[in-house]
Amino acid sequence: MSATLKQLAEYTSLSIATVSEILNHKKRPYNEETRQRVFDAARQLGYRPNASARSIKWGKFSTIALLQSTIHTRNSLPSTLLHSIEEELAGREQLLLLGSVTDEQLQGQDSIPRILRTWAADGLLINYLSGYPQQLEEFVSRQNFPSVWINSKHGQDCIYPDDMAGAALATEYLIGLGHRNIAFVNYNFGRFSSPVHYSSLDRFSGFRQVMARERLMAVGISDDDTIPLSERLEYSKRWLSAPNRPTAVLCYAKETSIPVYIAACCLGLEVPGDLSIIHFDDSLTDIHGTKMDTLILPEQEIGRLAVEELMKKIQNPSYNFPARALMSKLVTGWTTGLAPRTSKPARGRKNHKTS
């Protein structure tokens, strides 16, 4: 059974008020020896704070909710990001609640407040990559509830990767290796894809701007809609068999670069001798023992800053911060090299779609 404040006070020969203030990190003029005596006693006697009592007294639950959709394509949550959030909250003695809701649950003016009351959360980290319900954004803006959007772009109170700058960095790197025939490959995006995450547009825009500046043709390889995982290998083989295939590609994500890499190997193309590959991911990727050149997304920093800013908003609900775009880091592996003098033809030649 957990010890009480009264028992701690008797054990340390201090008043209940003094013990309570020290355990709650109040800024009072207690010397370090007294503070340490209280913390040592709390460990020895197995003291645990009464979260319910704290909530009633201070009107806070010490709980942060991570809100996301039940639709997996809208709520990708990299482990690096999740661990960063958990670590930052733990250091602040805050709990993390993962909450997934359907679009239907967010309908109506009172639905979101009702959900938050059920969750007993002091603030929200919102992880909707795309297609978030309009009611959610309106609630956050109207009610001024402490909230921070992660990995999505809004006018304020959001933290996300600077995908345009990251794509530009990778494109400049490939051009520096002598490549001129470079393509941007995205199997998660097409003319009819909906909803669209901002990164699909920003990554291609960053690539296209650098290519335009260097007076090079910006080729985008995609299809009319998202290409299913089961079809990506054959699709990659088709465009890699084209007469004027690229010598280097910037891939939207790991799920794009893996079939491209395997297709190149199937066609007898060497990586990076015949084809250089770079992609975006939250960590360094290894494909069959090959370390991919990767634009590593700043997920760890996003998690840390999101918690930091959210705690400021909980202390002061009127506090807002401007949108923050964080730079990705280019980590070179074994999949990029100098541009080949001549483009080696692959076995078989078929048409492919470009955008």
* 71-75, 160-164, 246-250, 279-283: range with lowest mean pLDDT: 71-75
* 46: pLDDT strictly greater than 90: no
Helices (H) and strands (E) in the chain, counts: 12, 14
DSSP readout, 85-119? HHHHHHHTT-EEEEEEE-TGGG-STTHHHHHHHHH
Instruction: Quote the pLDDT of residue 72.
Output: 74
Residues in the chain: 355
How far apart CA 152 and CA 133 sit, in angstroms, is: 13
Each residue of 284-293: pLDDT tens digit?
888 888 999 9
- Mean pLDDT estimate for the chain: 86
Q: How confident is the model at residue 238 (pLDDT cuts 50, 70, 90)?
A: very high
* 331: pLDDT strictly greater than 80: yes
Instruction: Quote the pLDDT of residue 57.
Output: 47
Residue ranges of the domains in the chain? Answer: 5-49, 63-159+299-326, 163-297
The 3-state DSSP class for residue 66 equals: strand
Question: What is the topology classification, in CATH, of domain 63-159+299-326?
Answer: Rossmann fold (3.40.50)
Higher pLDDT: 31 or 144? It is 31
* 348: pLDDT strictly greater than 60: no
Strand partners, 281: 296
Instruction: Quote the pLDDT of residue 346.
Output: 66
Return the top range by mean pLDDT from 4-18, 178-192, 226-240: 226-240
Q: Which two tokens stand for residue 284?
A: 């360094």
Each residue of 141-200: pLDDT tens digit?
777 789 999 998 988 999 999 999 999 999 999 999 999 999 999 998 877 776 778 999
What class has domain 5-49? mainly alpha
Q: What is the percentage of the chain residues whose pLDDT exceeds 90?
A: 50
- Which CA distances in Å does 354 have to 185, 186, 218? 9, 10, 10
Q: How confident is the model at residue 4 (pLDDT cuts 50, 70, 90)?
A: confident
Q: How confident is the model at residue 328 (pLDDT cuts 50, 70, 90)?
A: very high
* 237: pLDDT strictly greater than 60: yes
Q: How confident is the model at residue 49 (pLDDT cuts 50, 70, 90)?
A: low
Return the top range by mean pLDDT from 98-102, 116-120, 144-148: 144-148
* 337: pLDDT strictly greater than 80: yes
Residue with tokens 């800013």: 309
Q: Quick one: average pLDDT of 210-218?
A: 97
Reported pTM:
0.79
User: In CATH, what is the architecture of 163-297?
Assistant: 3-Layer(aba) Sandwich (3.40)
Q: How confident is the model at residue 58 (pLDDT cuts 50, 70, 90)?
A: very low
